[in-house]
Structure 1
């Protein structure tokens, strides 16, 4: 028996009923609840934690996995569960469900339980699992996006180096960051950004660059 589980593995595996998984997502952790089996477990919200979660999920006939949309904390998990039947619930709708069921207490474990019960009760449509072709296409798109970012950075790097040495305004910006003990890479990246912002402003105003007055 897994000491981290609320119920024994043997008991869970003997239950062939479709199970709904509720996951409460925070920056550091994932609190999970299985309905109606009642099992609970917490995982780290990291790549390693996502792998452990998926291995744990394989013991049940999972019908749907429910979680709330967060600012950014759900994105990596969402990608890891791309081949699972997932439902992304609206936080406001989940709050109303909690009020309707009279659940006033609020902890990560209770939130996970509520998400599981809500998805099992309302049965919202699940996101279809990606086909092998779709998964391959997603990988290619991610690779292309990375190459585009690298190309843009390389295109700006040398102009930023020159500007940090010869452009009075940008040289002052670079020296200010270096004096503040910022790493050289951070300082030159700031110059790159300032260079792009300045160039866009000049193009928009249809004018040439002039040195800022001392």
Structure 2
């Protein structure tokens, strides 16, 4: 798609600000279906460039940007969802916060990168449901962990007969949360089971020894069904396990290290996967101990194993065949 015009949209809970880059036309609309229709009429009237050469640039704001993205998709309107941090870092120092200015910056960002930027595709309904359920599950797991930690300390200090209601209430909460977590997991399994493509991807990913159910689900959701990232290396960068050089001139000569700009949840999941693979996968266990015997750093070795597991998952999905453990064929 050749882009000649960019329109920046800064979305908030109730409204969104719009700026047309070429003529700097500006207006605020309600973040509702009615507001989306008014936006299209206003753009048709004020945009001097044909819509087939126009790209809407939206700052990703979670659930507040989902509805307009769905509207654009249904009406075959080209748009691109960009993380706010990426826009912020690309445009230099900013003082203060203003939605009108932000819409202008978003439009400018899109114009500067119009030769590189690609239109976005929203996930399928099944993937969207999976994402929402995974988010809810994570929230409930954290709440349950909080109650478990609290009651464990209270039982160590307080007598049960003097604090019966205190303990019983939290125990009921833990049981209730556990039940809801199981219900969510059953619903996610049902979504996977009833969708042939997702079911196939799930089976291929978990065929890699070390990668479990939750990691497989997170991979499918965050890669938009393995369509969002061109290679496992780009995904490794997104997850924060890809090493980058740390040198500058003659004064800074540091070793390679991973970036703090990462999806921390996925990074922690792959850390658990790597440690599980070291314990249960003979190939990874041998590789891990050989590197340590050579004096290699323990954490860098674990990070290499994270990358190996990720690369194998991507390879299995790309080939559409389960991962084969070749070590068992070695004489």
Q: Which runs of 4+ in 1 moved over 4 A?
A: 193-196, 198-201
| 2:86 matches 1:93 | yes
Q: Which runs of 5+ in 2 are unaligned?
A: 130-174, 184-331
Q: Which runs of 5+ in 1 are unaligned?
A: 1-16, 131-137, 146-192, 202-214
TM-score (norm 2): 0.34
| 2:61 matches 1:79 | no
Equivalent positions of 1:1-214 (< 5 A) are: 18-59=4-45, 60=47, 61-62=50-51, 63-82=54-73, 83-99=76-92, 102-123=93-114, 124-127=116-119, 194=176, 197=179, 200=182
- Closer/same/farther in 2, CA of residues 196 and 22 from structure 1, 3 Å limit: same
Post-superposition CA distance 1:86-128 (Å, at most 9, x none): 11112111111231xx543420000000000010011143327
CA RMSD, Structure 1 to Structure 2 (Å):
3.1
Higher relative contact order (CA 8 A, sep 6+): 1
Alpha-carbon distance between aligned partners in 1 of 2:181 and 2:6, rounded to the nearest angstrom:
53
Instruction: Describe the SS at the equivalent of 1:30.
Output: strand
- Closer/same/farther in 2, CA of residues 90 and 198 from structure 1, 3 Å limit: closer
Q: In proportion to residue count, which structure has more helix? A: 2
Alpha-carbon distance between aligned partners in 2 of 1:199 and 1:91, rounded to the nearest angstrom:
31
Alpha-carbon distance between aligned partners in 1 of 2:36 and 2:112, rounded to the nearest angstrom:
26
CA apart distance, 1:42: 0.4
Instruction: Describe the SS at the equivalent of 2:23.
Output: coil
Report if aligned partners of 2:80, 2:120 keep a CA contact under 8 Å in 1. Answer: no
TM-score (norm 1): 0.50
Instruction: Describe the SS at the equivalent of 1:104.
Output: coil
